[in-house]
Amino acid sequence: MIEYLFMLTAILGAVLALMQRDLLKSAILTGITGASIAILYQYLLAPDVALTQAIVGAAIIPVFFALAVYKTRRMEE
Amino acid sequence: MNSLIPLMVIVPILCALFLNLLHKKDRTIKIIAIILALILPALPILANYGLHYFGGYVPLIENPTLGTDLPSLITGTALNTFHPAITYSFQSAQKIFVFILGLVGLLAVFTSLFETRRPSGVYGYMMFMGIAAITAVLLTDDIFNLYVFFEIAALATVGIVLVSNIKGNYETALKYMILGGIAAPMLLLGVALLLGVTGNVNITDIIYSLKNGLVNPQSPVLLMACGLIVFGWLYGSGLPPFHTIKSAVYSKALPSGAALVQAFSVFTFIALGVIILRIFSYLPFSQWVILGVSLLAMILGITMAILQTDLRRMIGFLAVGELGYIGIGLGLGTVSGITAGLFQAVNEAVITAFLFIGFGTVLYQTGISDTRKLGGMMVRNPKVALLVLLAGFAMAGVPPLNAFQSKLMLIQASINAGLPELGVIMILLSIVTFMTFMKAFHAVFLRPKPADLEIKNENIPKATIIAMLVFLVVCIVFGLFPQVVTSYLQPLATSLGGVV
Amino acid sequence: MIIDTQLASLFTAVALIIIGIFAAAFLDNLIKKVIGLAFIGDGVNLFIVSMGYKAGGIVYIYLPGMAADWFSQNASYPLPFAMVLTSIVIGASTMAVMLGIIIVLYKKHGSLKASEILGD
């Protein structure tokens, strides 16, 4: 039953990430979507994919975005 | 030797990694890159036809010892014939395609090494990586493997655009990547839907499942998969609606890079087009979709080429427009049509590379690509001007050269298929192509030299001239003896034409 | 529940793809466009994984002592999962290249607006 909750957080995280004016918040919110999807993979019986997604989707990609924001500008004009 | 089949992909990848290690050692890079690039066209000539199974996992039917103690649930059904490994299939058509790709790659690497003042390992890396990816796209019989190398080819293209120091290259590269970020997942989704319906990613097995009623071929999911794969095909080869961005990509790369990138587009077009024909040819409208898109590409590409004032952009649009001819051959669906289309693809890859490198000499000498500011280059280099003129003749289809043969075959095939209108359109567009080319040629070479035009580099490197001469020889040989090429292409065309 | 897990995750995947396409097409900020592309990739991956799922099944690891017939009927289908592993890594590397280009473009134009940078 709990997997439906993670589906909801995945979509909510995506929508919220795109609604932020602060790009650093957007970057962190992509991590929430990535992490929810990683947990969903676990429920969908794919533990190895879940591990990869947990590292790439929840840590590496948000860090990439945060670095890009740090190197450019934080607020959306 | 069958072990040479995977080497065709592995050698360029190794070249790429190796060149990147040798960063900043100019002379060593030059020598090693030339030696390694010479291997590329040699490999397909030496290799024997056959299938290569990665990891050695042959289908069960070919390895009976493995199947002895398996239940009949597996050995008694189609599972027995399915391919468990990633399969590379090297047949006669692939032989000529990989050879031409290797040749264009060799000459592009060759010219780039002598035209740039400091040969960079990174540029070589991108070129070799792209060649490896497109070779894999041509060879693979596994549709997911195709997607992976499709992405690598797109990244290599972006890399080739980024290393040229042309104004606006970063913007174009980002635009291309954003479009790719939408199109490539769509291709993957199409692959996924095929996998979901048939449970397989091997193309031969997918076709087996569809033909033998293991899955319902009329399922709407397959229709959607077809649409998504066609979308990826449009992006990968630069057909409309992606013709503007693709021609911009050509125009923002160095001439040698552009020559290579257009070969990538041509061969992506062929590889994905053949796969679409193989899997989806039973859908009645698939043929009309290919014909319609190709016609649109021809008309849009060639008419937009007339309007350009930038030399590179003009050839870029011409290259996109010429892709339409190949698509018309494939879309006709008859054996002669498909042979003509594949032959046109081989010619197109050679001729457009020839044109890019030919007009590249002008850029090398002046650094200007605006046709309004150029002129009088004929006086300086009559030899180069003659070579470029011959390249233009080849593209328009003037008799002794190769595109004449393939365009003639295309027109005959379209008349035989009951669509003479297509033949008329192709002839008209050939004339427009020739007119566009002559306009550019006049502006660059024949017109008197504008007073404010500066020549930066006096001498064109010998390597460029040699590369152009090799292209010319290929054009003439293919033009005089078209059966040399078509005999290689015939088996693939027969297997496809029998399907439609 | 009205719909089962597989169908629900397929819908989630489609929703993510649609959100991503919307962001990539209509948002003006380049970084947000790229975030949208990341969501498209995530959505497609989720779609593929949910196709391999088997309701009430087990993870596709064959342990000693399992009957082969029982395993083959209950395990999830691992081929899509192997594909997704590759696809995740490709997506991440593409994203990194795009962000690198964006940083260079920001230094050149001093802006992240797609309409200014990619406009002409």
**Are the beta carbons of B461 and B115 closer than 8 angstroms?**
yes
Segments making up each domain of chain B, as ranges: 1-280, 283-500
**Which residues from chain A sit within 8 angstroms of residue C112, using beta carbons?**
72-73, 76-77
Q: Does C contact A via 3+ CB–CB distances below 8 Å?
A: yes
Indicate the residue of A37, A45, A68 with minimum beta-carbon distance to C46: A37
Residue B59: strand, helix, or coil: coil
Looking at chain B from residue 167 to 196, which residues have their Cβ under 8 Å from any Cβ of chain C? 170-171, 173-175, 177-178, 180-182, 184-185, 188-189, 191-192, 195-196
pLDDT of residue B498: 60
Nearest CA in chain C to B158: C97
Q: What percentage of residues in chain B have a pLDDT greater than 70?
A: 97
- Domain of A31? 2-71
As a whole number, mean pLDDT of residues B2-28 equals: 81
Lowest mean pLDDT among B127-131, C1-5, C52-56: C1-5
Does the pLDDT value for residue B362 go beyond 80?
Answer: yes
**Which residues from chain C sit within 8 angstroms of residue B175, using beta carbons?**
118
Looking at chain C from residue 27 to 46, which residues have their Cβ under 8 Å from any Cβ of chain B? 30, 33-34, 37, 40-41, 43-44
Reported ipTM: the value is 0.94
**Which residues from chain A sit within 8 angstroms of residue C60, using beta carbons?**
45
Six-digit token pair at C36? 């949208």
Distance from CA of C86 to the nearest CA of A (A): 10
Confidence of residue B71 (pLDDT cuts 50, 70, 90): confident
As a whole number, mean pLDDT of residues B330-346 equals: 90
Does the pLDDT value for residue B41 go beyond 80?
Answer: yes
Domain-embedded: residue A19: yes
pLDDT of residue C48: 92
* Yes or no, beta carbons of C87 and B158 under 8 Å apart: no
In sequence order, the 6+-apart residues with CB closer than 8 A to the CB of B473 are none
As a whole number, mean pLDDT of residues A8-35 equals: 92
Q: Does C97 touch chain B (CB under 8 A)?
A: yes
B95-118 confidence digits (pLDDT tens): 999 999 999 999 998 888 887 766
Does the pLDDT value for residue B499 go beyond 60?
Answer: no
CA B146 to chain centre: 14
Q: Nearest Cα to B334, choosing from B497, B135, B169? A: B497
Domain-embedded: residue A17: yes
pLDDT of residue A54: 93
- The CB density around residue B334, as the number of other CB atoms within 10 Å, is 18
Place of tokens 């020559």: B259
Confidence of residue B81 (pLDDT cuts 50, 70, 90): confident
pLDDT of residue B500: 45
pLDDT of residue B24: 66
Burial letters for A1-23: b for 16+ Cβ neighbours within 10 Å, e otherwise? Answer: eebbebbebbbebbbbbbebeeb
| Triad B410, B49, B203: Cα angle to 5° | 70
Nearest CA in chain C to B147: C87
Cis before residue B491, ω within 30 degrees of 0?
no
In sequence order, the 6+-apart residues with CB closer than 8 A to the CB of B451 are none
Neighbours of chain C (3+ CB pairs under 8 A): A, B
Domain-embedded: residue A25: yes
Query: What is the rounded average pLDDT for all residues in chain C?
Result: 88
**Which residues from chain C sit within 8 angstroms of residue A27, using beta carbons?**
35
Domain-embedded: residue A34: yes
Six-digit token pair at B20? 């990147």
Amino acid present at B70: L
pLDDT of residue B118: 66
Q: Which residues pair with B52 in a beta bridge?
A: B88
Q: Residues B250, B251, B254, B255: is their CA dihedral positive or negative?
A: positive
Distance from CA of B176 to the nearest CA of C (A): 10
- The CB density around residue B116, as the number of other CB atoms within 10 Å, is 16
A25-72 confidence digits (pLDDT tens): 999 999 999 999 999 999 888 889 999 999 998 899 999 999 999 988
Query: Which H/E stretch holds residue B90?
Result: strand B87-90
Nearest CA in chain C to A60: C92
* Yes or no, beta carbons of C97 and B155 under 8 Å apart: yes
B266-317 confidence digits (pLDDT tens): 999 999 999 998 898 888 888 888 889 999 999 888 888 888 888 888 888 9
Nearest-angstrom CA–CA distance, B488 and B98: 12
Q: Which fold has domain C5-118?
A: Helix Hairpins (1.10.287)
Does the pLDDT value for residue C7 go beyond 60?
Answer: yes
- The CB density around residue C14, as the number of other CB atoms within 10 Å, is 15
Query: What is the rounded average pLDDT for all residues in chain B?
Result: 86
Nearest-angstrom CA–CA distance, A65 and C34: 9
B413-467 confidence digits (pLDDT tens): 999 888 888 889 988 988 898 888 888 888 888 888 777 777 777 778 888 889 9
Domain-embedded: residue A76: no
Q: Residues A56, C17, A41, C81: is their CA dihedral positive or negative?
A: negative
DSSP strands (E only) in B152-232: none
Domain tally, chain A: 1
Distance from CA of C33 to the nearest CA of B (A): 8
DSSP state, residue A72 = S
**Which residues from chain C sit within 8 angstroms of residue B73, using beta carbons?**
69, 72
CA B198 to chain centre: 29
Nearest CA in chain C to A12: C16
C23-41 confidence digits (pLDDT tens): 998 988 899 999 999 999 9
Six-digit token pair at A4? 């439906």
**Which residues from chain B sit within 8 angstroms of residue C48, using beta carbons?**
188, 192, 195
Distance from CA of B341 to the nearest CA of C (A): 33
- The CB density around residue B182, as the number of other CB atoms within 10 Å, is 18
B204-236 confidence digits (pLDDT tens): 999 988 888 888 888 899 999 999 999 999 998
